[in-house]
Amino acid sequence: MMDVCFSLAAAGLYVLTVLWTLSRGHDAGHGASVPGAFGALLWPLGASLCYVVSPVLCGLVFLSCSVRLIWDRKRCELLLPETRGVLITGCDSGFGHALAKRLSLMGVKVFAGMLDVDGPGAQRLRETSENLHVLQLDVTDRHQVETVHRDICSQVGHTGLWGLVNNAGILQCPMDAELQPLSACRRCMDVNFLSAVNMCQVFLPLLRRAGGRIVNMSSMAAAVPMPMLSAYGASKAALSVFSHVTRVELSDWGVTVALIQPAGFRTNIFGTSDDVSHYRDQILEAASPEARRDYGDAYISSLPSGLSRLSQRSAEDLSPVLDDMCHALLSVHPKPLYTPGQMGWLLPFVHRHCPTAIFDVFIKTLTKYSDCEPAGLRTS
């Protein structure tokens, strides 16, 4: 009898928790959390099956589900954005551009770093909100970084800077590691990793003053060995390790570090037709005579077309990434790692648990960007 009473009490608590979650989500204007809504439908079914085995087990399932819903709801609570100042790099287009728009409309004071303050992206941002300040910022130019730092210091004063989003990044052309020009590798590391390190070092005094947050934009390529993306993946992996280390180090200072590790999303990082021609000439010029003989000019010339294939396979809707970036900046309980996108968590999971030989075949098939094969392989 006690077992049945415990089970019924736990079920009642679960129902109350679901109603509380839905009502809080409605009041906040963003609805119930996805785990909450999903659990509200499926967890009772699982608990009912457990009841057949044991009423106590059924009660424990309902109790654990209630705790999970409460925790999910707490994670959705946001800080008041009006007093927050956030610096975002790489706002000319893509994630940075969309995030700057969203945050400024929420009431956040946004400092949008742009490669070209006279470009179309900057003009669109200027029309968005009076909370948005467009700044000239090439993250690889230390002089521009210092200029932006002085400008922001004069505006935020003693309150400090709440958020730094290291979003600026480059992909370059997918190619075999042997063909990757060393200058392109250096450029990738400079933009994707070293510039983010410099930005953190320059702005951390302001972030400490506010007890603020750093959000670093990594990639699924940092966690999964993606053929043809050796330089890009290495630079993002370096940023990921740096983020995890600084998260531990800065926790004593009250500064939170979050890492965004998305799957493929369609942004301007894939370049234009002019970039394709540039990459083709760059690879052919940098390749050694032996490499050009073994791979063949036809294969090398086909590599830049992989950019368009990558773009076509990527998701157009950027909202999963933007939702996670906003959560990392404004949630009362941010997560250390976000993996937006359908394959964002699944592919790293498969990589960790699948036998290496099987995964290697799978990932080579998944990332085949060209129908042309190296000349040496066709001969053999």
Within 10 Å of residue 361's Cβ, how many Cβ atoms?
10
Q: Spell out the residues 6+ positions from residue 9 whose beta carbon is closer than 8 angstroms to its own.
A: 59
Contact assessment for residue 203 and residue 135, using Cβ atoms and an 8 Å cutoff? no
Report how far residue 119's alpha carbon sits from residue 107's, in angstroms, rounded to the nearest whole number: 24
At residue 129, the 3 state secondary structure works out as coil
Buried b (16+ CB within 10 A) or exposed e, 48-82: eebbeeebbbbbbbbbebbeebeebbebbeeeebe
Report how far residue 68's alpha carbon sits from residue 32's, in angstroms, rounded to the nearest whole number: 13
Active-site annotation holder among 51, 232, 299, 338:
232
Active site residue 369: no
Contact assessment for residue 147 and residue 114, using Cβ atoms and an 8 Å cutoff? no
| Three-point CA angle 91, 220, 136, nearest 5° | 15
Q: Spell out the residues 6+ positions from residue 14 whose beta carbon is closer than 8 angstroms to its own.
A: 43, 44, 47, 62, 63, 65, 66, 69
Give 216's strand partners.
166, 259
CA-closest candidate to residue 193, choices 215, 212, 166:
166
* Dihedral over Cα of 228, 232, 234, 240: its sign: negative
Report how far residue 334's alpha carbon sits from residue 263's, in angstroms, rounded to the nearest whole number: 20
Report how far residue 214's alpha carbon sits from residue 205's, in angstroms, rounded to the nearest whole number: 12
Give the full edge-to-edge strand order of the sheet including 337-338.
132-136, 109-114, 85-88, 163-166, 213-217, 256-260, 337-338
DSSP 284: H
Query: Which residues participate in catalysis according to the annotation?
Result: 232
